Each structure stands twice: as structure tokens, then as C-alpha cells.
Structure 1
Amino acid sequence: MKSRSSALLHANPFLLWSSLGVKTLQMSTAAAQVIAIRTTRMATHGLNPNAADRREMTLMGAEKVDAFSRAGQALATGAIPLVAGMAGQALRTSMDLMNASAHLAASRTIPQTMARQRKLADTLMRGAPDSKATARLAHRALAPVHQKATANARRLTKKAR
């Protein structure tokens, strides 16, 4: 069942971008919870933190470096093929647009002009950037940060109870 829903998600750009928004909201909410819990602990123990507080403070910096470097790596490795694909697509589209424009300019009748205008419009629409690939890259980049923030929120809210 999960693979079917995942396939549906990756097939529809609207669902991809919507789920990215949901994950961003989850991450932001979890981060706010973690900040509140950690700030309260720091304020409570002040200048004399116990061993658990010192471990938590050390973890704060290390986990951010790890999560954001994994996010940066996902962006770097995913952006290269995405940009290369977009450059190739832009070149193909520009050639197709030049061809469709030349045909339109050479039209001799109204029906021929209408048909060639439609061909030009279709070429313009087909040449739109691939929103799905961009959304998938954004998901991969957000994943490590989302994972760390939500895991911390679960872990720290259990300890706070």
C-alpha cells in the first residue's frame, strides 16, 4: 500500500508540493517544541547544567551540522542532473519554438495560421520546467532536517513528561 501511495505522490506535482508544505510545517512545529524544551532546561539549570543537559547542549550543535550537511549533499548531488536536464530541455524547447515560429510566419491561410498558432502554444506548454523533479529534490533536501527535528521533538517530549 505504501508503494502505491508513494507512486501516486511522485506522479502528481500538486501532491508533491503539498506534501512538502506539510513536512515543512511538521518540521517547524517540531523545531519550536524542541527549542521550548531545551530553552526551559537551560533556564532551569542556569550556569550549573547536569551531565544530561551538557550532552543535550553538545547534541544541539552536532545534530544541526549533520542534518544540514546531509541536506546540502542531497541538494548538490540532485541539482547537477536537474540543471543539466533543464539546460537540455531549454535547448530542445528553443529549437522547437524557433521551428514553430518560422512555420507560423510562413502561414498562408487562416486555418493554417490557427493550426500553427496551436502548435506554437503546445510547444510553449511542453517546454515548461519539470516541477516534479524540483519537488522531489526539495523533498530529499528537507528529509534529514525534518527527520532530526521530529525525532528530537518525540524524544524530548517523552522525557519532559
Structure 2
Amino acid sequence: MENITPVSSRCAPVFDVSCNCFRLFSEVCELFSATAQVVRLRTARMALAGPVPNQLDRAEFSIMGIEKCEATSESIEAMNSGLIKLAFEFTSDTCNLICAMSTAPTGFASRRPVTQRCEHQPTFLTTVIQSPSNPLYLVSSMTSLVREMLAPIHGRATANARRLGAG
């Protein structure tokens, strides 16, 4: 009975996916709220500025274009580096899984008594559960990547909402 995996570690992949998805959902909701606030405030500012905006308005309007380009560039950079990192991790994990799966049958075959085979089974099942093809692993990794990609946009939108709302 010593080799039984505790419930908390067996639920860890499900918990990770749930936490990552909840974080992504809350960040997207916050992003949408901040974006709506910024669009409303800037649209009102444009309407009040009229056809000939003053120096402060022109500065604010030029900031809009620059920060969108910067946020998009940073988001694309996060996506590219995240995808490369994910590809390396996936390749490494797949190679490790192939090695583990190729040695698993010999682990079963080399242990003659049934009790020793049963003791080896949790190791084998853990290897399969931690496989890169495990849907929970893939969902958690992709959710984290999407959060990294949205971080620059989220950061700028929420900062603008605070700055413009305070003014």
C-alpha cells in the first residue's frame, strides 16, 4: 500500500488545467472591461477635441497607435518564443516517453512474481499520465501560452484604463 499515489498528486493535472483556465478567463474578462473603458474614454475625448485637437489630445492620439504596435509586437514575440519552448518540451517529453515505454515491458517481464509486477505498475501508469500527449498537459501548456501572449495587451489596456479613468 506504500506505492499508492496520493489523491492530491493524481489530481494535480486537473487542478493545473482548472487554475490556468480560470486565470485566463479572469484576465480576458479584465481585458475586455479595460478595453471597453478605454475606447469609451478615448472616443469621448476625440469627440470633444473636434476637428482641431490641442497638443495634449494629439499626443494622446499618437500614443494610441504606438502602443498598439508595441503590444502587438510583444505579443507576437511571446507567441513565437512560447511555441518554440513548447516544441522543445514536447519533443523532449516524447523522447523520454519513448525511452520509458520501451523499458516498461522488460520491467514487467523481468519480475516473475505477481506482487513485483503490481509494484512496477504505478511507475508505468505515471509515465503514461505524464506523457506529452496527455490532453490535460496539452491544454495546460496551451492555456499558459495564450496567457503569455495576451499579457502585453492586457497590461497596456488595464494601465490605460487606470490612467485615463483617473484623469
Same fold (TM over 0.5): yes
Unpaired segments ≥5 residues, structure 2: 1-14
Alignment partner of 1:155 is 2:163: yes
In structure 1, the residue matched to 2:92 is 88
Bigger drift between 46-55 and 127-136 goes to 127-136
CA distance in 1, matches of 2:161, 2:65: 16
Of residues 60, 65, 70, the one that matches 1:61 is: 65
CA distance in 2, matches of 1:29, 1:43: 21
In structure 1, the residue matched to 2:145 is 137
In structure 2, the residue matched to 1:74 is 78
Bigger drift between 33-42 and 70-79 goes to 70-79
Report how many aligned residue pairs link the two structures.
147
Bigger drift between 138-147 and 123-132 goes to 123-132
CA distance in 1, matches of 2:123, 2:37: 54
Bigger drift between 75-84 and 122-131 goes to 122-131
CA distance in 2, matches of 1:99, 1:80: 29
- Pairwise CA RMSD of aligned residues? 3.5
Q: TM-score, normalised by structure 1?
A: 0.69
CA distance in 2, matches of 1:23, 1:78: 18
In structure 2, the residue matched to 1:42 is 46
Q: TM-score, normalised by structure 2?
A: 0.67
TM-aligned CA deviation for residue 30 of structure 1:
0.3
Identity of paired residues, percent?
31
CA distance in 1, matches of 2:144, 2:123: 30
Runs of 4+ aligned residues of structure 1 deviating over 6 Å after TM superposition are 117-121
